[in-house]
Amino acid sequence: DSNSISIVDDDRDKLFDGLLASGFDEASCISKVQSHLYRKAESPHKPSPYLISKLRNYEKLHRRCGPNSRAYNRNMIKIVHSKTNGGGAAAICKYLVFKPSNGLGNQMISTVATFLYAILTDRVLLIRFDKDKEGLFCEPFINSTWMLPKNSPFRNEKQHVETYQSMLLQKEKAAINLPSALFLNLQHTKDDPETFFHCDYSQDLLRNVPLLILQSDQYFVPSLYMNPSFNLEVTKMLPEKDTIFHHLGQYLFFPSNKAWGLIRRFYETYLAKADEMIGLQIRVFIPDSVPQQAVMDLVLNCTLENKLLPEIDTLNSVSSSTRKNKTVKAVLVASLYPEYGENLKAMYQNKPTISGELIGVYQPSHEEHQKFGDNKHSMKAWTEMYLLSLSDVLVTTSLSTFGYVAQGLGGLKPWLLYKLTNNETHFPACEQDWSLEPCYHVPPKHYCNGKPIKDFVSSFPDLRECVDFSHGVKLV
Rounded distance between C-alpha atoms, residue 55 and residue 372, angstroms: 33
179 phi, psi to nearest 5 deg? -80, 170
Q: Least distance to ligand GDP from the beta carbon of 362, Å?
A: 13
Q: Give the residue with the Cβ less far from ligand GDP, 230 or 245.
A: 245
Span interacting with ligand GDP, options 22-30, 117-125, 200-208, 394-402, rule CB under 6 A: 394-402
Q: Least distance to ligand GDP from the beta carbon of 416, Å?
A: 12
Which one, of 406, 379, 400, 315, lies nearest residue 353 by Cα?
315
Span interacting with ligand GDP, options 10-18, 153-161, 317-325, 400-408, rule CB under 6 A: 400-408
Q: According to the binding rule CB under 6 A, does residue 380 interact with ligand GDP?
A: yes
Q: According to the binding rule CB under 6 A, does residue 365 interact with ligand GDP?
A: yes
One-letter amino acid of 162: E
**85, 185, 195, 400: which one contacts ligand GDP (CB under 6 A)?**
400
Rounded distance between C-alpha atoms, residue 56 and residue 69, angstroms: 18
Q: Least distance to ligand GDP from the beta carbon of 422, Å?
A: 18
Rounded distance between C-alpha atoms, residue 476 and residue 474, angstroms: 7
**264, 283, 329, 464: which one contacts ligand GDP (CB under 6 A)?**
283
Give the per-residue contact string, 81-110, with ligand GDP (x = CB under 6 A; - = no): ---------------------xxxxx----
Rounded distance between C-alpha atoms, residue 110 and residue 388, angstroms: 20
Q: Give the residue with the Cβ less far from ligand GDP, 104 or 113.
A: 104
Q: According to the binding rule CB under 6 A, does residue 381 interact with ligand GDP?
A: yes
Rounded distance between C-alpha atoms, residue 121 and residue 7, angstroms: 37
Q: CB count, 10 Å around CB of 340?
A: 22
Bridge partners of 126, per DSSP, are 97
* 3 state DSSP class of 353: strand
* 3 state DSSP class of 209: coil
Q: Least distance to ligand GDP from the beta carbon of 390, Å?
A: 15
Q: Give the residue with the Cβ less far from ligand GDP, 127 or 167.
A: 127
Q: Least distance to ligand GDP from the beta carbon of 121, Å?
A: 26
Q: Least distance to ligand GDP from the beta carbon of 410, Å?
A: 16
**Distant-in-sequence, close-in-space partners of 89: CB < 8 Å, separation ≥ 6:** 207, 208
Q: Give the residue with the Cβ less far from ligand GDP, 102 or 327.
A: 102
Q: Give the residue with the Cβ less far from ligand GDP, 105 or 443.
A: 105
Q: According to the binding rule CB under 6 A, does residue 132 interact with ligand GDP?
A: no
Which one, of 236, 24, 249, lies nearest residue 120 by Cα?
236
Q: Give the residue with the Cβ less far from ligand GDP, 162 or 384.
A: 384
Rounded distance between C-alpha atoms, residue 253 and residue 386, angstroms: 10
Contact 244, 114 (CB under 8 A): no
**Sign of the CA dihedral with 283 first, then 286, 288, and 290 last:** negative
Rounded distance between C-alpha atoms, residue 445 and residue 195, angstroms: 9
Q: According to the binding rule CB under 6 A, does residue 35 interact with ligand GDP?
A: no
Tell me which DSSP letter residue 132 carries: G
Q: According to the binding rule CB under 6 A, does residue 338 interact with ligand GDP?
A: no
Q: Least distance to ligand GDP from the beta carbon of 297, Å?
A: 19
Span interacting with ligand GDP, options 39-47, 92-100, 297-305, 365-373, rule CB under 6 A: 365-373
Q: Least distance to ligand GDP from the beta carbon of 328, Å?
A: 23
Q: According to the binding rule CB under 6 A, does residue 223 interact with ligand GDP?
A: no
Q: Least distance to ligand GDP from the beta carbon of 104, Å?
A: 3
Q: CB count, 10 Å around CB of 219?
A: 30
Q: Least distance to ligand GDP from the beta carbon of 39, Å?
A: 21
Rounded distance between C-alpha atoms, residue 138 and residue 30, angstroms: 9
Q: Looking only at residues 160 through 219 of this chain, which bind ligand GDP when binding is defined by CB under 6 A?
A: none
Ramachandran region of residue 23, left (φ > 0), alpha (ψ -120 to 50) or beta? left
Q: According to the binding rule CB under 6 A, does residue 468 interact with ligand GDP?
A: no
One-letter amino acid of 468: D
Q: Give the residue with the Cβ less far from ligand GDP, 48 or 102.
A: 102
Contact 408, 438 (CB under 8 A): yes
Binding site for ligand GDP (CB under 6 A): 102-106, 283, 334-336, 365, 367, 370, 377, 380-381, 384, 400-402
